[in-house]
Amino acid sequence: MLPVWKWVLARRFSLAECQWHTLGNMNLRSPSSLGIIAALVAALVGCEQAPPPQFHLNEMRMVENETPADYQQEIADVLGAMFGTPDQPFAFPESGLTQTRLTLAAGAAYNDTEGVSHGLYRRHCVHCHGITGDGRGPTARFLNPYPRDYRSGVFKFKTTFAAAKPTDEDLKRIMHNGAPGTAMPSFSLLPNSEVESLVEYVKYLAMRGEMEQRLNQYVYDELADADRVDEKGNPVLDENGAPLKGIRLNPAANAGQQEAVKGMMAEVVAPWNEAKDQVIAPTEEQIPKDNRPAEEIAASAKKGRDLFFSPQKGNCFSCHGPTALGDGQQNDFDVWTKEQKAFLDKTEQLKQSVAERDEQKDLSDDDKTALERDRRLVSEREDVIKTFYPLRNAIPRNLRKGIYRGGRRRIDIFARIHQGIPGMPMPGVGGSGPGVQGTLTEAEIWNIVDYVLSLPYEAISGPQTALPENVAEVTK
Amino acid sequence: MGQAKQEMKLFVLSRQTIAVVAVAALAAAVGCNRYSEGPGKVVNLTAATKIRSSLVGQTAEAGGEQAASTGTGWATLKGRFVFDGDAPAMPPYGVNKDEAVCAPGGKAPPQEYLVVDPSSKGIANIFIYPRKVSRVNDAAGPKTDPFLFDQKECRFLTHAFAVSVGQPVEIHNSDPVGHNTSIAGQNTFNQMIPSGDKVPYSAKKEEATPASISCSVHPWMRAYMVPRKDSYVAVTKPDGSFEIANLPAGEVLEFQVWHESASGSNHGLAVQSDETKELKWDNKGRFKIKLDPDQTRELNIAVPASAFGG
């Protein structure tokens, strides 16, 4: 049976084509048929009224900044102006994004009469990465690792310096190869033009997410608590003569805000345009040849092994473990989880403080107002926390499996070791920018690459020093 | 007998019902809940269309928004933050790794999340800086001398510090074990600092609030750094004192006061008192002040325990 979700995602047009064909040879009593009927019912009846999917704001960040609801609406409107909607994306002129590609990738999935596929993102990606690119599609909760949340613009598997964005080639490569060992599939069967449209759409969602956070911060810093002024710059007073607070976010009516918003967009876009100048270029002569004799590789791998286990050099074992099973430092988090954890911790603190103040008698009126405000805040924060998936530690890779998410070519492993893995605890050992001195030399990094690639074939020798349960955890 | 038959019939009926209900439920679950729609706000198209044409079309000349620099002369802001209450005792860091190095003699160093000097009650490690200035004194430009940031016994030797954008920072590791130094925020950096070695770093962008620095190998290690465009920034000394000289006089300056454990919004240090009320000190840890030329304004702030969380 075809997976029901595929139909449903594609239902608007393509469902009509296949439903008769499948109905013909369907056993109406089997449970799968029930599912199909359900999908049909849903397609024909239930969802005609369903509203089109929408981009939603990042509630965690809105609540963290205590951004008032009316400002949230204004942020959503500015984002709508600059990026459009999931059905009608807009390539903002300064974004450098191509409208035709976005249009092909966005919207509902269907094939037109010429056989051109539309709605590529919803067809291939949305059930994991979510409409907003928040990594929270319907499948996401059940995956480990969770799908990438594009909204902070951080990507792991790329050939650029750690602080830089990925190049288009980097994004194409991950789509072509998938991320082996994770749910991220390979899309190597898609034509190049479709891959390019999807890459454009990933960048679009990332820029939208980054712009959202900047707008949120702009409201926090400059608008929400500012004294309101009239056209002449005089303070606006309420009926009691007290100055009114809060300047509305409406770039359509405020030239200064127009400039500010465009400036933020330029800051978001610039690193994407600069990515191609931020590629780590290994020195040509140092790149090991493909046809090296076995002894040469073994000698290089031996050097790499010494570096891997040396605290004065590579120090890789401190995380990947004395046996490289990934059983070293296991209790750190990735940046996406860290943000949620900080949110959780702060909520716990606030809850405790509210409970303590509840116990106190004779609070002043000011204290009571503050207490009520904090109580409301706790409940808003708890609503956000309910939407979290279980937090997981960032576990160092078991390097004996020979599975590399970012690609298994030597140059891929070189890039991982040189710059580390952005967003993850894994640090780099090469220089942090073009021409900047690193911890290890390029030659040493190539030695480690040889060792890493030989690790799956190396016997585990010597006593097992790691805790047995850790080993079980990472090798299962 | 008859009763059993009735039950049978009921059973049959309910099977059909269950099937229908199941189909309906599936339809609801599969069909209408395709996208995990978060609770966040969504766009209002009319408003968005208006904003779009204003952003994409020819925009009016932006003017009058730039805060005109009206003042002349320079002034100093100094003062002290003192803890209103008993100095909290800092528990030792939770060292659970490389004990020989990180907890010499079985004794881990004390944590630093709220460092109060028991005798003077001064609060260390509070950041204070103006959020924007319209003029910068020649003596207050960005610093260019190298800043040494070291770690020993699995502890960053500077817990809270400010650097200038572009200022060279040398990250050292004086421990016999390897560390990695991971800097959060807009100037992300995460690099291995081998034992006894050093690695260069510099921040390229100004941060509005301090970024955390950590080591993934020893997760208890923590420090905070704020990169600023100029050197109008101070971090309170162990006695709680700070001084920022050569500030532009004659304009309203908004200061940010920040401490890692402050319970204000985004770790802003919020203090309520008569003096702070006058300065419009808010929950974000920001206050406003206008200095006269050659003035030295002194702020002595008593901070209650409730300004810190946890």
Cβ of residue A426 closer than 8 Å to a chain B Cβ: yes
pLDDT at B293: 96
**Domain limit, last residue, from A209, A225, A241:** A225
Task: Tell whether A314 and A174 lie within a shared domain.
Answer: no
CB contact under 8 A, B180 and A427: yes
Q: pLDDT tier at A19 (50, 70, 90 boundaries)?
A: very low
| Residue A466 forms part of a structural domain | no
Task: Tell whether A342 and A299 lie within a shared domain.
Answer: no
| Residue A291 forms part of a structural domain | yes
Cβ of residue A6 closer than 8 Å to a chain B Cβ: no
| Residue B93 forms part of a structural domain | no
Q: pLDDT tier at A16 (50, 70, 90 boundaries)?
A: very low
Q: pLDDT tier at B8 (50, 70, 90 boundaries)?
A: very low
Distances (CA, A) of A155 to A41, A159, A170, A184: 40, 11, 10, 14
Structural domain tally of chain B?
2
Task: Tell whether B133 and B235 lie within a shared domain.
Answer: yes
Q: Nearest CA of chain A to the CA of B232: how many Å?
A: 19
| Residue A106 forms part of a structural domain | yes
Distances (CA, A) of B82 to A384, A442, B86, B302: 36, 51, 11, 5
Task: Tell whether A447 and A301 lie within a shared domain.
Answer: yes
pLDDT tens-digit map of A222-272: 999 888 887 777 888 888 888 888 999 999 999 999 999 999 999 999 999
pLDDT at B10: 46
Domain that holds residue B49: 2-67
Task: Tell whether A88 and A172 lie within a shared domain.
Answer: yes
B134 residue type, one letter: S
**Domain limit, last residue, from A204, A225, A246:** A225
| Residue B207 forms part of a structural domain | no
| Residue A262 forms part of a structural domain | no
Residues 150-189 of B with CB under 8 A from A: 176-178, 180-182, 184, 187-189
pLDDT at A242: 84
Residues 322-381 of A with CB under 8 A from B: 328-329, 331-332, 335, 346, 349-350, 352-353, 366
Closest-CA residue to B97 (of B219, B223, B214): B219
Task: Tell whether B308 and B250 lie within a shared domain.
Answer: yes
**ipTM at complex level:** 0.82
Task: Tell whether A206 and A106 lie within a shared domain.
Answer: yes
Cβ of residue B217 closer than 8 Å to a chain A Cβ: yes
Task: Tell whether A154 and A141 lie within a shared domain.
Answer: yes
pTM: 0.86
| Residue B146 forms part of a structural domain | no
Task: Tell whether A291 and A220 lie within a shared domain.
Answer: no
Using an 8 Å CB-CB cutoff, list chain A residues near B19: 34
| Residue A172 forms part of a structural domain | yes
Task: Tell whether B262 and B304 lie within a shared domain.
Answer: yes
| Residue B45 forms part of a structural domain | yes
Using an 8 Å CB-CB cutoff, list chain B residues near A56: 37-42
pLDDT at B292: 96
| DSSP annotation of A405 | T
pLDDT at A37 over 70: no
- The SS3 call for residue A206 is helix
Q: pLDDT tier at B121 (50, 70, 90 boundaries)?
A: very high
| Residue A47 forms part of a structural domain | no
Domain with residue A454: its CATH number is 1.10.760.10
Using an 8 Å CB-CB cutoff, list chain A residues near B57: none
Highest mean pLDDT among A47-51, A152-156, B278-282: A152-156
pLDDT at A241: 84
pLDDT at A349 over 70: yes
Tell the residue number behind the tokens 């009691």, with chain if given.
A240
pLDDT tens-digit map of A269-325: 999 999 999 999 999 999 999 899 999 999 999 999 999 999 889 999 999 999 999
Task: Tell whether A400 and A445 lie within a shared domain.
Answer: yes
Whole-number average pLDDT of chain A: 88
CB contact under 8 A, B43 and A131: no
Task: Tell whether B39 and B78 lie within a shared domain.
Answer: no
| Residue B107 forms part of a structural domain | no
pLDDT at B58: 58
Domain that holds residue A384: 334-358+367-392
Closest-CA residue to A309 (of A441, A161, A447): A447
| Residue A117 forms part of a structural domain | yes
Domain with residue B132: its CATH number is 2.60.40.10
Cβ of residue B30 closer than 8 Å to a chain A Cβ: yes
Cβ of residue A8 closer than 8 Å to a chain B Cβ: yes
pLDDT at B17 over 70: no
Task: Tell whether A173 and A91 lie within a shared domain.
Answer: yes
Structural domain tally of chain A?
3
Q: Determine the average pLDDT of the residues in A96-103.
A: 96
Task: Tell whether B12 and B81 lie within a shared domain.
Answer: no
pLDDT tens-digit map of B267-285: 999 998 888 999 999 999 9
pLDDT at B40: 81
Buried b or exposed e, range A364-376, using 16+ CB within 10 angstroms: eeeeeebbeebbe
| Residue B156 forms part of a structural domain | no
Q: Determine the average pLDDT of the residues in A36-48.
A: 54
Cβ of residue A57 closer than 8 Å to a chain B Cβ: yes
Task: Tell whether A148 and A220 lie within a shared domain.
Answer: yes
Closest-CA residue to A123 (of A13, A47, A41, A204): A13
Task: Tell whether A441 and A400 lie within a shared domain.
Answer: yes
- The SS3 call for residue A462 is coil
Distance CA A272, CA A164 (A): 8
Closest-CA residue to A116 (of A97, A99, A132, A101): A101
Cβ of residue B296 closer than 8 Å to a chain A Cβ: no
pLDDT tens-digit map of A436-473: 888 999 999 999 999 999 999 988 765 445 443 333 33
Task: Tell whether A218 and A138 lie within a shared domain.
Answer: yes
| Residue A231 forms part of a structural domain | no
